[in-house]
Structure 1
Amino acid sequence: MTTISVEHVSKSFGKVAAVDDLSFETPPGAITAFLGPNGAGKTTTLRMILGLVTPDSGSVTVGGRPYRDLDRPLRQVGAVLEATAFHPGLSAEAHLRAVAIAAGLDVARVGQVLDLVDLREAARRKVRGFSLGMRQRLALATALLGEPGLLILDEPANGLDPTGIRWLRGFLRAYAVDGNSVLVSSHVLAEVEQIADHVMILAAGRLRWSGPLTAGSSLEELYLEVAG
C-alpha cells in the first residue's frame, strides 16, 4: 500500500514559517482528514508531498521514495490540488486522452474514469463550459487514470452540489474499502466526519492532533479545541 511519510519538515517563505518541524505518517487503507485553519500549512505540505515545493529541511516520501523519484507516479499517486488546470478548448475526453498518452497509460482507461466520475454524457463537451463541480469531477478522473493506490485531494467537494457531495462520499469510502489510501484536506467538517478514519489537525505549521476518529466523538468540538 502507498503511504506518506513526513519527517521533521520545515518550510518558510521569506520570514513566514509555513510549516514548522512537521512529522506524520498516513495509515494505509484509510481516509485521513488533513485539517486546519487558513494559513495552517496544509497546502504547502501537500505541495511538498508532490514534489512541487522543496522543503527547507526534513524529508517527504511516498511509498518510501520522494515523489520525484517515483518511476510512474500516476500509477501510485493521484492528486487534485485545483480544478482549473485544463485547456478550455479541449473536451473532457481529449484532456484525459492527452494525459494518458503522456503518462504511458492505456487510453482505454479514459472511458472507465469518465464512468467512475459520472461524466460520460459530457465527455465531448469543451471544458470551458463546465461548472466548477464538473471540473472537480474531471480533476478526479485525471487523478484516477493510473489506478493509483493513494489519492491526495485538496477541497474535493468545492463546487459540488448536495448530490455530488453524496456521490463523492460514497466513492471515497468504496475506494478506501478496496485497500487504497486517501489524504483529504477540507474545511467541510460535517462531511469529513462522515468519511474519515483518521484525523490530523494543523495550526501555525505544526501538527496539533493526530488520531482515529472514534464513534460518537464530535469533530467540530475537537477541531475548535485544537485549532480554534
Structure 2
Amino acid sequence: MKIVIGQPKLESELNQLELTLTAYPEADVVIFPEGYINANLEQARKLARMHHTAIISGYKNPKDWSVVIDASGDLLLNRAKYEAGGAAEVNGQRIAHLLCDELVLQGLKEQAEPVDMIAHPIGVGMFSEEQFEEWITVAKNIAKQHHALIIGTSHADGSYRDSAVSIPIAYCIDPDGREVFIRKNDTRTVLLDTETMQYIVSEAVYR
C-alpha cells in the first residue's frame, strides 16, 4: 500500500489536500493532520471519490472527530475524539485511528482486535523537545504492543495554546517499534510503500 504523509498548513478550505491527491495518483491513502478537514467533510468525501484515494484525517463538528474515508468517498470511521472506536479496513489493511493526544492519554482504547496500522493525525506541532521525544517513545511502545505500523503527522504551522514553540512532526514506526523515519521541523511530503518500507521525500506540492 502506498501512503502519502502530508504536513499542510492550516486553511479554511481543502486546497492543499486536492493538490496532494492530484500530485500522487499512485497513492492508496493520504494521511493529513487532526482538524485539517475542518467543516469540509463532504468536500473531502468528494475528493476521495474523484481521485479514488482513501483519506485519513480529522474534522471539527464542532469538537474534533476522527475520520477515515475510503476511495469511494464512504465514511469507514467517524467518531468523536476520546470515544472508543473500532478500526477501518482499507485495501485489506485494518487501520486504527489515534487523534492527537489520544496517543498519550488513552492509546488504543478498548481495541481488542488486531490491527495492521495505526494512523495518528496530530493537530499542531510539539511545544517542546521533551514533548517530541515523549510522543515518539509512546508511539514506539504502542507499535510494539499492537505489532502494528504507526504513522503520525501534524500541521506545518500553528502552536499549542499559548506556547511560542511549534515543532512540526511526522513519523513512522514499524511493528517492532523501530524508526522508519522521524521528521522534526521538516515539512516535506513523504510517500511510503508499506510493502517494502521504502519512502520518497519531496517538497510539498502546496508550498
Instruction: Provide the TM-score with structure 1 as the length reference.
Output: 0.37
Which is greater in Rg? 1
Say which structure, 1 or 2, has more relative contact order (CA 8 Å, 6+ apart).
1
Instruction: Provide the TM-score with structure 2 as the length reference.
Output: 0.40
More helix by share: 1
